[in-house]
Chains A and B, each alone.
Chain A
Amino acid sequence: MATILIVEDEKPINELIRRSLQTVGHRCVSVYDGQAAVDELAQNKYDLLLLDIMLPKMGGYEVFERIRGIPTIILTARDGLSDRVKGLTMGADDYITKPFEMLELLARVDAVLRRTRRERTGESFELDGMRIDFGSRQIYCDQQPIEYTPREFELLETLVRNRNIALSREKLLELAWGYDYEGDTRTVDVHIQRLRKKFGLEDRIKTVYKLGYRLEV
């Protein structure tokens, strides 16, 4: 989906971010210090930069000053107000503090990508003859457009954007229905059944024991 450069000196965290982003289909490159990040950005084109602030050789803010123009999410363990304000006033697109949850990271990455790529032609997702056009909100099965309710589209989009990751029923309610929806988690089960039937995703949308559902690609 997107090419992302991860700049983080802690190897475990760097790898964790890389693995998480790769799971939902992004292409990732990891570097471990500020100088390497600047060098890498000079050679290749990236859609998004995940940038730690405390870096050896060259600090995160300095890297950011040099590479202006690439959408950036700042990662840091410091969540003091002044740090956050500094990052955002410098022009960073978002700010994530450690420790973070995988879904939060993915959601923010998605949000920044959607915002910064708006003018481009709508992205799409294809799976087993089903094609989703996110730009025009159309779903085709074997080239035939299919009727669906807005809720079904939201749910399918949530599953696609967090594919290969198990989502609890509560999380699905929160992401597809919104925070203020006060419904039964069984509503999710009903809608999942409908999605499976309508789009032929019986083998793709797996029920994860005691956890929820996962779209496996």
Chain B
Amino acid sequence: MRARTFLVTLTLFLLFFNLSIFLFSAITLKTNLDGSRERSLGEHYFIASTYGKDLYALESRGTIADAALGSLFQSYSAYYGKQGVALELSEEGRILYTSLPKGDRRSGHSQAAIPGERTVTTTKLDGRTYVSVIGNLPAPYETYTLTYLYDVSGYLSAWSRMTGMLFLLGIVLCTLLAVCLHFVLGRVFKPLRQISEASKCIAQGEYGNRIGATRHDELSEMADSFNHMAEEIQKQIGQLKLAAEQKQRFIDNFAHELRTPLTSIYGYAEYIQKVELTDEDKLAATDYIMSESRRLQNLAYQLLELATLGRSDIRREPVEIKELFRKTEETLKLKLEDCKVRLTWKCRLDAVDGDRDLLESLVVNLADNAVKACPPGGLVLLEAYMESERPVILVTDDGKGMTDEQLGRVTEAFYRVDQARSRAGGGAGLGLALCEQIAASHGAKLSFSSQIGRGTISKITFTTS
């Protein structure tokens, strides 16, 4: 691209430059020659008429015509010779006198003039160029022909020297131009080169690469949009990396979740097979096998739910909040009694749109977590109200609260704030991950805020009523 631009520009310049030199010198030559012709014509007329008058005057004074012709020619040619002009006098084609330098002299004959007319020609005589004007002397000497020869070879050689100089100058200028063009193009194409280098870097995985643009033109605009593109790519790659990391962590955790019950199941089966056991021991071992199998089953079920929730559309119907809260309390009744935790609700909202079963599962899950976090005598509060035209459901507890780090990971699959208790209860660590999915499928946002020792608030914000 750069080389091509360079060559094309240079060629075009050379073409036009040389063409203009050529035209300029041609025109100068023509104008000058035309000027010389005009002048020669005028001079010829003047010389011819004065010559005729002088001849007449000499003849009337009695000088012999031939002698007068000769002496007059001598004085004329001497006078004009100083101006680079040669004269020639002939009679009917026969040259009588000539002031041409010896080498240029033509043989005895000269061109005869057409009577009453004067002709202008450019003649070359032995390397010298003359503008010649041929015409007869005025009457009564019209038999004599006066040829006026103006030497232009000096001018011509000056012209050709100048043209040569011009072309030489042209070559020097072209060389200079080529050098300048090289640098200018280098500067002009610098952003392009930067862009191509930066794209190479990006292709190799260095997504942080940017182009520094200092000027304000089309190229810097292009650099800007390139930078924008690079930024977007970097952002997307970052998201992909994050997603991949999350997926990896999910798989790691999943493997761990599978291994723990499998260890028990395999171990107790081996124990029953290889050790002589009492009936009581056998019962205990089979109990463990069964409960751990159930745990695996639970895990499979919840994972399936998590997977299908992300894919399918949900039913939408008005769900009464009071009913929702009442059912939640009913579901958790046993647990509330066990943990000695109270549950109350404040409802300032009639209904929200959504899937009844899913919303119930969502609230029950959040309330269940709240109950687990509470010490005996704690209080769990369910609230529903409008907040800036959006329905909000709030689950508040006055339990032990969470750290910011725990808060950030709480909806991650298999993450447990309190490992021992949750596992003893048969949880797979998927509860809040499910909650988040349910909220997302309703177009709602699930957020948490917490303070150590003060309690946790879970908030569901619906985007539409």
What residues on B are CB-neighbors of A214 within 8 Å? 274, 276
- C-alpha spacing A77/B281, complex, angstroms: 26
What residues on A are CB-neighbors of B291 within 8 Å? 12
Contact between B264 and A10 (Cβ–Cβ < 8 Å)?
A: yes
Contact between B418 and A16 (Cβ–Cβ < 8 Å)?
A: no
Does A90 count as interface, using CB distance less than 8 angstroms? no
Interface string of B360-389 (1 = CB under 8 A from A): 000000000000000000000000000000
Contact between A23 and B275 (Cβ–Cβ < 8 Å)?
A: yes
Q: Beyond A77-B263, A100-B263, is A54–B270 a contact (Cβ under 8 Å)?
A: no
Interface string of A10-28 (1 = CB under 8 A from B): 1111011001100100000
CB under 8 Å from chain A, chain B span 243-302: 252, 255-256, 259-260, 262-264, 266-268, 270-271, 273-276, 281, 284, 288, 291-292
What residues on A are CB-neighbors of B271 within 8 Å? 16, 19-20, 102
Q: Residue B267 contacts which of A16, A55, A211 (CB distance < 8 angstroms)?
A: A16
Does A182 count as interface, using CB distance less than 8 angstroms? no
Q: Residue B419 contacts which of A19, A56, A101 (CB distance < 8 angstroms)?
A: A56
Contact between A164 and B270 (Cβ–Cβ < 8 Å)?
A: no
Shortest B251–chain A CB gap in Å is 12
What residues on B are CB-neighbors of A98 within 8 Å? 259-260, 262-263
- C-alpha spacing A16/B274, complex, angstroms: 13
**A interface size (C-beta, 8 A):** 30
Does B15 count as interface, using CB distance less than 8 angstroms? no
CB under 8 Å from chain B, chain A span 1-50: 9-13, 15-16, 19-20, 23, 32-33
Q: Residue A13 contacts which of B256, B263, B276, B419 (CB distance < 8 angstroms)?
A: B263
Contact between B263 and A99 (Cβ–Cβ < 8 Å)?
A: yes
Q: Beyond A12-B288, A15-B288, A33-B420, is A77–B275 a contact (Cβ under 8 Å)?
A: no
- C-alpha spacing A19/B284, complex, angstroms: 11
What residues on A are CB-neighbors of B1 within 8 Å? none
What residues on A are CB-neighbors of B276 within 8 Å? 164, 214, 216
- C-alpha spacing A216/B266, complex, angstroms: 23
Does B19 count as interface, using CB distance less than 8 angstroms? no
Q: Beyond A9-B423, A211-B273, is A16–B268 a contact (Cβ under 8 Å)?
A: yes
What residues on B are CB-neighbors of A32 within 8 Å? 420
Contact between A56 and B288 (Cβ–Cβ < 8 Å)?
A: no
Q: Beyond A56-B418, A77-B259, is A13–B264 a contact (Cβ under 8 Å)?
A: yes
CB under 8 Å from chain B, chain A span 136-192: 164-167
Does A114 count as interface, using CB distance less than 8 angstroms? no
Contact between B274 and A54 (Cβ–Cβ < 8 Å)?
A: no
Q: Beyond A16-B268, A77-B256, A78-B256, is A11–B424 a contact (Cβ under 8 Å)?
A: yes
CB under 8 Å from chain B, chain A span 83-103: 98-102
Q: Beyond A15-B288, A16-B288, is A9–B419 a contact (Cβ under 8 Å)?
A: yes
* Nearest residue, chain A, Cβ from B266: A99
What residues on A are CB-neighbors of B274 within 8 Å? 102, 165-167, 211, 214
Q: Which range holds the interface residue count of chain B? A: 20 to 34
What residues on A are CB-neighbors of B281 within 8 Å? 19
Q: Beyond A12-B288, A12-B291, A12-B292, is A166–B273 a contact (Cβ under 8 Å)?
A: yes
What residues on B are CB-neighbors of A9 within 8 Å? 419-420, 423
Shortest A44–chain B CB gap in Å is 23
Q: Residue A12 contacts which of B264, B275, B420 (CB distance < 8 angstroms)?
A: B264
* Nearest residue, chain A, Cβ from B257: A77
* Nearest residue, chain A, Cβ from B268: A16
* Nearest residue, chain B, Cβ from A162: B274
* Nearest residue, chain B, Cβ from A166: B274
Shortest B408–chain A CB gap in Å is 19
* Nearest residue, chain B, Cβ from A14: B264
Q: Beyond A54-B419, A56-B418, A101-B270, is A13–B260 a contact (Cβ under 8 Å)?
A: yes
- C-alpha spacing A85/B420, complex, angstroms: 26
Shortest B427–chain A CB gap in Å is 13
Q: Residue B264 contacts which of A16, A78, A211 (CB distance < 8 angstroms)?
A: A16
What residues on B are CB-neighbors of A165 within 8 Å? 274-275
- C-alpha spacing A57/B266, complex, angstroms: 28
What residues on B are CB-neighbors of A13 within 8 Å? 260, 263-264, 267
What residues on B are CB-neighbors of A16 within 8 Å? 263-264, 267-268, 271, 288
- C-alpha spacing A146/B263, complex, angstroms: 42
Sample of 18 A–B contacts (CB below 8 Å): A9-B423, A10-B260, A11-B424, A12-B292, A16-B268, A16-B271, A33-B420, A56-B419, A57-B420, A77-B260, A78-B256, A98-B260, A98-B262, A98-B263, A102-B267, A164-B276, A165-B274, A211-B274
A residues with a Cβ closer than 8 A to B are 9-13, 15-16, 19-20, 23, 32-33, 54-57, 77-78, 98-102, 164-167, 211, 214, 216
Extra pairs beyond A78-B252, A99-B262, A99-B266 (18, CB < 8 Å): A9-B423, A10-B423, A12-B264, A12-B291, A16-B264, A16-B288, A56-B420, A77-B256, A77-B259, A101-B266, A102-B270, A102-B274, A164-B276, A165-B274, A166-B274, A166-B275, A167-B274, A211-B274
B residues with a Cβ closer than 8 A to A are 252, 255-256, 259-260, 262-264, 266-268, 270-271, 273-276, 281, 284, 288, 291-292, 418-421, 423-424
